[in-house]
Amino acid sequence: MTRILSYVPLAPAGIRAPAPLVEPTFWAKIPACFLREPDRWPMLVVMQSHASPEQIDRVVKVIEAQGLVPHVLPGATRTAIGLTGNTGAVDKSLFEVLPGVEEAIRVTKPYKLASREMKRDDTVVKFLQGTVSPSTFTLVAGPCSVENEAMILSTAEHLVSRGVKFLRAGAFKPRSSPYSFQGMGLEGLKVLEKARARTGIAIVTELMDTEHASVVEDASDIIQIGTRNMQNFALLKRVGKCRKPVLLKRGMSATLEEWLMAAEYILAGGNYDVILCERGVRTFSDHSRNTLDLSVIPPVKATSHLPIFVDPSHGTGKRAYVPAMSLAALAAGADGLMIEAHPDPDRAMSDGAQSLDFAALDALLAKLKALAPAFGRTM
């Protein structure tokens, strides 16, 4: 028996490729167009509902013995174990005969770990302050950037008094102009840490480069990867090694598949707590800053187990439109919102035009709390 390593074209739609492990003489009889590249066939081992931890551990060891990488994915009723690596030459019966295994199946999506084929149950991201799940609706609010300590502390205190558990603010800011305010940097992270220590609020802040990964991880509860860095693969690999959840914003012109493939980099690194964030895409439209693509939410839910937030502030660029699009995001099935809020938006150092003041934020929060139960959500 041989392992096929050379590239061959993909099989035509509707035609199944042959089993990946066959007699050597078999390959000579098959037209090249019927074959697939082996490493596009990662596998999922589904355990029985009563499988013991010892049986799961044995499957993991067998996977590692094949030179593959196991990803244990606990579910509500059973555990699945994903395999990544070159699984093309691995016979799935190698796993199906092991005690506690229900079945081994091939995963066809290009994004493996982010796919519902790999993990049927929705991912639940847990924090000390609560959870991000299909039954909750999470609000993340705060200014675009850390401007000074007094503003951040007053914002954090206001949010906590309203039951909001997550503060967003950027210590490092990617700006289109090199002359615009770039954030307070490391001093800004210290301010965020002080706000968390004083109020208990969780911190969401952006990581722009691998150099500051460790300090941003320490200062944050959720690491944000901004739209401009959605395909910064070195950065995605780095946060894949972090043990803090990652909020991955959609790129300005990214397709759904490209977005999920970016998430795959993080998941493949071992960090399974990824939250997607739709923040608007660039189109020919000139009535708003971006086009907020709420139509992407149902396809995300259908193809992936990852939770999805919506950022209506960047999506519209105008504070007057933020409340309506926030309510629409809830109705469309989003798991949460990321909203820019500032004590004095007209004097904000960045993105003031799309930021809500505290009164507008309070009014929106009241509407969300009233509407959420109709969609099976709690806030």
Give tens-digit pLDDT for 10-29: 434 443 443 333 333 433 43
Number of domains in the chain: 2
Q: In terms of domains, do 165 and 274 share one? A: yes
Q: How far apart are CA 339 and CA 321, in angstroms?
A: 12
DSSP state, residue 170: B
Residues 209 and 80 in one domain: no
Q: 222 and 370: one domain? A: yes
199 in the same domain as 301:
yes
In whole angstroms, how far apart are CA 332 and each of 133, 312, 372? 15, 13, 12
Q: How much of the chain is in helix, strand and coil states, percent to nearest 5?
A: 35, 20, 45
CATH number of the domain residue 99 falls in:
3.30.70.1140
Cα separation of 184 and 190, whole Å? 10
Mean pLDDT of the chain: 88
- Domain containing 283: what range? 125-375
Indicate whether 58 and 129 sit together in one domain.
Answer: no
Q: Which H or E element spans position 267?
A: helix 256-268
> How many C-beta neighbours within 10 Å does residue 194 have?
14
61 and 155 belong to one structural domain: no
**Same domain (yes/no): 184, 50:** no
274 vs 23 pLDDT, higher one? 274
Tokens of 101: 């295994």
130 and 270 co-located in one domain: yes
Residues 84 and 215 occupy one common structural domain: no
94 and 176: one domain?
A: no
State pTM to two decimals: 0.83
Q: What is the pLDDT of residue 108?
A: 82
Summarize pLDDT for 33-45 with one digit per residue, the tens.
333 343 345 788 9
CA–CA separation, 267 vs 274, rounded Å? Answer: 8
User: 141 and 44 share a domain?
Assistant: no
